[in-house]
Structure 1
Amino acid sequence: MDQVVERALQRSPDIRRAERELDVATAREYADGLLPDPTLTFSTDRPGAAGFVPAFMAGLSYEVSALVDRPAKKRAAAKASEKQQLALEWVKWQVANRAYALYVTNVTLQRLEGEVGQLVAYQRDGTERLQKALARSEVTRDAALLAEVQYGDNVQQLGTLRQEHLKAEQELARLLDLPPGSHLALVAPPEPSEVPQDLIVLALSNLGQHRPDLLALRAGYDEQDERYRAALLAQFPRLDVGITRGRDTSAIYTSGLAVSVTLPLFNGNRGNIAVEKATRESLYQEYGQRLDDAYTAVDGISSELTLLTERLHSSQSTEAALEASLKMLRVAYAARDVTFPVMADAEVRLLSQRVATTKLANSVLQQQVELCTLIGVSAIDHQPLQ
């Protein structure tokens, strides 16, 4: 199980995609930290009359106003990189717990498929024996027909289990980035345990301070706040300052200072300010909504887990009772006190109950994994995810 989770963290396509997005954010942070380049201009004039020399004008200028909003842009880029780092951590949390859930599901379905396969083989033999007994008028037609119907139902159930197992295997193979046709031999994992209630309460008390997706939203809001600040600073006139050196056609050299200012009469960066402000407000609302959704989701899953766990315990009790009853029937069958159809029916009932119990246990597991992901603990040992 540890090997599967480790490979999932190394090879999952979702994680690699998030890592590429982090690389892009890091590159943007580097780009936003660079200083603007100075501007060099040069022009020349050729006189059309004799006695004059070619004139030229050279200038070197720098956009001083670009330095005003540069700190805000750098802080925004740093927050964007932090946001992607937290998003990567959130994906890793989900992948680790998802790998564990698929591991347990595959092992469970494989074991269940083997049990149902054994029963189908047993029922096939029993059905053939009943058909022969029916031909000798040793059993009733109803008993033979019932056994045949039960055999057909279990054959269909076996086919469904194989489809579910194949689907779970393919999902795990995609998560581990395995080549098509790969087959994993999985060791039986430890039995899943219930998530302690005090752990849920503790996690909910500081959910917004440790869950990466919520922290990423907060970093995204901080990024947008800096971009809004940069847009406000960018409304000031663009200022270019430079020095010039020239010569006119009379061979007189001049030096000077050049200043150019953009007049904010029609634009004034007001459009960008409105966009950045609206985006910041949207992110604020999204963070609040996501936090509320997180608490609601944890509460809903906890309630559903309680109901599923009660159903699972009831199903396990029924399975234990059927198993004890079947043991008694086998003893009675050996003593010829009960007929084969009666014992075969008990076998079918027990297996059907075992299938139902296993599927309920898998549903409980899936809910536990989702709950653990939402509160930020490992689904394997309930330790905080790092």
Structure 2
Amino acid sequence: MASAAAPVTVDQVVQRALEHSPDIRRAEQELDIATARQYADGLLPDPTLSFSTDRPGAEGFIPAFMVGLSYEVSALVDRPAKKRVAAAAFEKQQLALRWAKWQVANHAYALYISNANLDRLEKNVAQLANYQKGVSERMQGALARSDVTRDVAVHSEIAYRESVQQLDTLRQEQLKARQELNTLLELHPGTHVRLAAPPEPYEVPPDAVAHALAELGQRRPDLLALRAGYAEQDERYRAALLAQFPRLDIGVTRGRDTSRIYTSGLAVSVTLPLFNGNRGNIALEKATRESLYQEYTQRLDDAYTAVDSISSELGLLGDQLRNAQSMEAALEASVKQSRDAYGAGDITLPVLAGLESRLLTQRIGTAKLANSVLQQQVELCTLIGVSAIDHQPLP
């Protein structure tokens, strides 16, 4: 992380999150296991060496022995399918690791934006509370001089207390978001990371969303991982079908009986598939394959539904944000005019204080709406498989 004097940038937050995420470490361990399994499944089965001896109980005879070397030829039949299973499992874990990194990166970006906005919002609310405290004190002095009525002074006091309550609630949210960021970055509890100003966000272009949806099955790593998992299970089903054929062992023997006669021969053993025939495994692998197909189609449908829902919500939030920004601009103009009017003695202090308090409240509401829009944009980027920072496909 950056030094204590330098604020931390979004790139540093994302990079540290990728380096310290336990989800990524677990995915990397699963990939190591898949790599080892791929190596193990690529090995040829070992031959079998057998030896037996007989010792005669009568005189005039010698010990007999039998040596045999055999190989399970049927194991070579389903070996290509098992190798394809291991390759598909390896690809699935690679994609699962990509998806874990993808989610962690976008989640780190979302936490960064949330913490930065909450810090800025906390300053605005603290400014509002301090301003209303000053107004309340001035109103109490004016009440003592009988310049204002009691209800005006009480209203100012209530507005100040509400601002303090709002500030306390916001600081609780700020503490929770800071703790979540520290957990993601594996920092000590209570560590306060000073964040640099986040980059100005911009909306995900609608054509980028449409293009990403058209290629969603080929873009999102979790969907690609499900496809690889289905391919793995399909090969398992093929291997189970091949395993129903009888087990065949072929070998050669060399022996000697008790009368010193040496013999050589060929040994063949075949398993008769009368009761089992691997039918149970075939049914199990087939059912699992169907389940994975249903999971993939359901995940794809859920992704389309979620994107449509978030896009609609972003449209509404965007309208609300634009209206809030227009209201804030109008209030800023009104406050500027009112300050001039107050200086000229045309309006009273309660009227000016009310307008200034409303402007600060509007700024807080606008900031909260902007944060909600940003969080929804990050969620949308995760769903369509692009970076939340620059909207480009993540490597």
Identify whether the pair has TM-score above 0.5, normalized to the shorter chain. Answer: yes
Mapping of residues 226-265 of structure 1, within 5 Å: 226-265=235-274
Aligned residue for 2:3? none
Q: After TM superposition, give the deviation of residue 334 of structure 1 in Å.
A: 3.1
Identity across the alignment (%) = 75
Q: TM-score, normalised by structure 2?
A: 0.93
Match for residue 204 of structure 2 among 178, 195, 201: 195
Contact 1:99 1:175 in 2 (8 A): yes
Aligned residue for 1:7? 16
Tell me if 1:320 matches 2:329.
yes
Q: After TM superposition, give the deviation of residue 222 of structure 1 in Å.
A: 0.9
Match for residue 194 of structure 2 among 181, 185, 191: 185
Match for residue 291 of structure 2 among 263, 269, 282: 282
Tell me if 1:205 matches 2:242.
no
Q: After TM superposition, give the deviation of residue 286 of structure 1 in Å.
A: 1.8
Aligned residue for 2:185? 176
Q: After TM superposition, give the deviation of residue 240 of structure 1 in Å.
A: 1.1
Contact 1:127 1:151 in 2 (8 A): yes
Contact 2:335 2:352 in 1 (8 A): yes
Aligned residue for 1:133? 142
CA distance in 2, matches of 1:207, 1:288: 12
Q: After TM superposition, give the deviation of residue 80 of structure 1 in Å.
A: 0.8
Q: After TM superposition, give the deviation of residue 247 of structure 1 in Å.
A: 2.4
Q: Deviations over 1:135-171 (max 9, x none)?
A: 3433222112111111111111111111111122222
Match for residue 49 of structure 2 among 40, 45, 56: 40
Question: Which stretches of structure 1, 4 residues or more, deviate above 4 A after TM superposition?
Answer: none
Contact 1:298 1:371 in 2 (8 A): yes
CA distance in 1, matches of 2:275, 2:98: 45
Letter paired with 1:100: Y
Aligned residue for 1:110? 119
Letter paired with 1:354: R
CA distance in 2, matches of 1:338, 1:223: 77
Q: After TM superposition, give the deviation of residue 341 of structure 1 in Å.
A: 2.7
Q: After TM superposition, give the deviation of residue 186 of structure 1 in Å.
A: 1.0
**1:258 is paired with a residue of what secondary structure?**
strand
Letter paired with 2:71: Y
Q: Which segment drifts farther, 252-261 or 263-272?
A: 252-261
Tell me if 1:95 matches 2:95.
no
Contact 1:13 1:177 in 2 (8 A): no
Match for residue 295 of structure 1 among 304, 310, 324: 304
Aligned residue for 1:345? 354
Q: After TM superposition, give the deviation of residue 115 of structure 1 in Å.
A: 1.5
Q: Deviations over 1:230-270 (max 9, x none)?
A: 00000000111112222223333222221111100000000
Q: Deviations over 1:267-317 (max 9, x none)?
A: 000010011111111112222222222222212211111111001101111
CA distance in 2, matches of 1:212, 1:313: 35
- List gaps (5 residues or longer) in structure 1: none
Letter paired with 1:191: E
CA distance in 1, matches of 2:368, 2:210: 28
CA distance in 1, matches of 2:255, 2:192: 78
CA distance in 1, matches of 2:62, 2:157: 113
CA distance in 2, matches of 1:339, 1:187: 41
CA distance in 1, matches of 2:188, 2:255: 69
Q: After TM superposition, give the deviation of residue 224 of structure 1 in Å.
A: 0.8
Q: After TM superposition, give the deviation of residue 350 of structure 1 in Å.
A: 1.6
Tell me if 1:364 matches 2:373.
yes
Contact 2:71 2:250 in 1 (8 A): yes
Q: After TM superposition, give the deviation of residue 12 of structure 1 in Å.
A: 1.8
CA distance in 1, matches of 2:84, 2:104: 30
Contact 1:302 1:371 in 2 (8 A): yes
Match for residue 70 of structure 2 among 61, 76, 82: 61
Q: Which segment drifts farther, 92-101 or 106-115?
A: 92-101
CA distance in 2, matches of 1:362, 1:134: 40
Q: After TM superposition, give the deviation of residue 48 of structure 1 in Å.
A: 2.5
